[in-house]
Amino acid sequence: MSERVSLLRHLTQAAQDGRLDPALALVVQQIGAASREIAAALARAALADVLGAVDSANASGETQKKLDVLANDAFLHALPWTGAVAGIASEELDGTYRVPGARGGYLVLVDPLDGSSNIDVNVSVGSIFSILRAPDGAVGLANDDFLQPGSRQVLAGFTAYGPATVMVLSFGHGVQGFTLDPASGEFLLTQPDMRIPERTSEYAINASNQRWWQPPVQRYVAECMAGKDGPRERDFNMRWVGSMVADVYRLLTRGGIFMYPRDTKDPAKPGKLRLMYEANPIGYVVEQAGGLASTGYERILDIRPEKVHQRVAVILGSREEVERVVAYHREG
């Protein structure tokens, strides 16, 4: 077996070739360090008595798990050391965090532990990260500096904590997957060019929300369920892990469409998932892997954010299927 390329070597090579700012290589290394720490904490969670909730809520008013807090701390400790990060936004922070004395020109937005309702039942969870440039550098960094469309991301990805811990990332040159070797503690390149198959027969949606879906999504799912006997003339399979990283990792591996659409359950919410640290980074990776990411009405990466914690409808994955759902939205 030939020797595997480490994350560090991959990033160093990209920096030497001029495809990556060396400062970003350091940021990714530190995201790797935080991910390693989180993976270890997840593996020992029951033993270390860190399952369950804490007595506080996050910025969106949701109950925080102990591991949400631990994962958030792991990123807040790891990122400032790079010297490249001016500010951090997180699902678990009310405001944005300005790195004291920072000189670096990057902003990192994270969902430290996505799918955390799955932790207590020992199902895969993940960390999601998005990196933007600070428009005016570190000096005078303001909250509004974070509010940039996803198309301006310079790097994005996620770490999935499943049977294996895998970091998937893109800096605009395709998508690579790195598996954590528990023996050496190194992330090693295992998926060099992840591509989402264009054609698929698998969809992911929380079907318990069906009565609140809007007509285009009702129509799409009804046609999938009709299978061979319906207009699609082939059978579809349904999967829903309930952790976006795990669902997205599946579609990066064997294709599929993932939807958390806008529904009428709570008309004040334009969706469940957060734009800046969930939909944008995942959308960036999906597009880099040849897929599409839309709200049904517009490309996710084109949305001009108004708030760091804003929510958005998400329809992403295999190109042919996303195009079909978008067409159904156009038809009304």
Query: Interface with ligand AHM includes 287 (CB under 6 A)?
Result: no
| CA 68/CA 116 separation, integer angstroms | 7
Give long-range contacts, CB 8 A cutoff, 24+ apart: 30-33.
Answer: 30/78, 30/79, 30/81, 30/82, 31/75, 31/78, 31/79, 31/108, 31/127, 31/129, 31/157, 31/159, 31/167, 32/7, 32/167, 32/178, 32/187, 33/78
Query: Interface with ligand AHM includes 242 (CB under 6 A)?
Result: yes
Tell me whether residue 12 or residue 209 sits nearer to ligand AHM (CB atom): 209
Least separation, in Å, of the C-beta of 58 and Mg ion?
10
Going by C-alpha positions, the residue among 104, 209, 89 that lies closest to residue 145 is 89
Query: Interface with ligand AHM includes 62 (CB under 6 A)?
Result: yes
For residue 135, which phi and psi values (nearest 5 degrees)?
A: -55, -40
Residues 106-165 that bind Mg ion (CB under 5 A): 111, 114
Give the interface segment with ligand AHM, choosing from 182-190, 224-232, 238-246, 303-311 (CB under 6 A): 238-246
Query: Interface with Mg ion includes 247 (CB under 5 A)?
Result: no
Handedness of CA 135, 140, 144, 150 (dihedral sign): positive
Least separation, in Å, of the C-beta of 233 and Mg ion?
36
Query: Interface with ligand AHM includes 244 (CB under 6 A)?
Result: yes
Query: Interface with ligand AHM includes 92 (CB under 6 A)?
Result: no
Going by C-alpha positions, the residue among 103, 118, 97, 86 that lies closest to residue 240 is 118
Handedness of CA 70, 73, 77, 80 (dihedral sign): positive
Least separation, in Å, of the C-beta of 244 and ligand AHM?
4
Cα 194 to chain centroid, rounded: 15
Residues 127 and 33 sit within 8 Å (Cβ to Cβ) = no
Find the farthest-apart pair of alpha carbons in the chain and give their distance in angstroms, rounded.
64
Say which entry of Mg ion, ligand AHM, none residue 116 contacts (CB below 5 to 8 A, set by partner kind): ligand AHM
Say which entry of Mg ion, ligand AHM, none residue 329 contacts (CB below 5 to 8 A, set by partner kind): none
Query: Interface with ligand AHM includes 308 (CB under 6 A)?
Result: no
Tell me whether residue 21 or residue 111 sits nearer to Mg ion (CB atom): 111
Query: Interface with ligand AHM includes 159 (CB under 6 A)?
Result: no
* Interface pick for ligand AHM out of 206, 237, 253, 264 (rule CB under 6 A): 206
Total length of the chain: 332
Tell me whether residue 62 or residue 181 sits nearer to ligand AHM (CB atom): 62
Binding site for Mg ion (CB under 5 A): 111, 114
Binding site for ligand AHM (CB under 6 A): 62, 91, 111, 114-117, 206, 242-244, 260, 272-273
